A and B are shown apart, each in its own frame.
Chain A
């Protein structure tokens, strides 16, 4: 029973390039969350999605960042025109959405380095 999958695990980009991070939730899970962990900081919520809908994007930077969770395929976190400050670990989590507590299961993360 595969857990939450994220790829790539490590991503290196130069300033100005685009970064695409992918997250495949656990089988049967329809809710996806993205978090960012900056060096020496805790995880910060970015966005919460259900299939084809963004439910809460209160943690997303206003520019350059976008997320989607299409009907088919993985959830994508897209960062356009990356800057050095985007270097961080990006974690995806999923939940089944059937229980009120929405316990989340985390993926291994993508470590983005911007040169």
Chain B
């Protein structure tokens, strides 16, 4: 069965610090990978996605993620965080060849950026 692990449940950073959030998945077949962000009181918004091609994916708001197939990882990075990045971040996976396009989500990482 598919599963997604996000190892950091709570992260606190100062503004301008660099960010890396870990995401590992378990599934032997082809996967599509996503990072979503949920700002307080708002719905999930897509930050970036990987379907195929260049494993380094650039998203919105200066975020990027790198797909490392050998490590089953899709870590999210941002070189310099801002106070407005305070939110919860979810990694998600789906398996397009499984017959269902449901997402499997990680448990989320709550990021707090101190001004």
Contact = CB atoms under 8 A, between A and B. Distances in A.
A102 B101 contact: yes
B103 A33 contact: yes
A68 to B, nearest CB: 17
Q: How large is the interface on B (under 10, 10 to 19, 20 to 34, 35 or more residues)?
A: 20 to 34
A16 interface: no
A35 B32 contact: no
A100 B43 CA distance: 24
Contacts of B34: 103
Interface string A30-67: 01010100000111110010000001101100000000
B100 A48 contact: yes
Interface in B50-107: 51, 90, 94, 96, 99-107
Interface residues of A, number: 27
Given A42-B107, A101-B32, A55 B43 contact: no
B44 interface: yes
Contacts of A109: 43
Contacts, number: 62
A91 interface: yes
B43 A106 contact: yes
B96 A100 contact: yes
State the majority secondary structure of interface residues on B: loop
A80 to B, nearest CB: 23
B97 to A, nearest CB: 9
A59 B32 CA distance: 20
Nearest to B33: A101
Contact of A102 (B44, B96, B105, B108): B96
A107 interface: yes
A24 interface: no
A105 B51 CA distance: 16
7 contacts: A33-B101, A58-B102, A95-B101, A101-B96, A102-B96, A103-B46, A106-B44
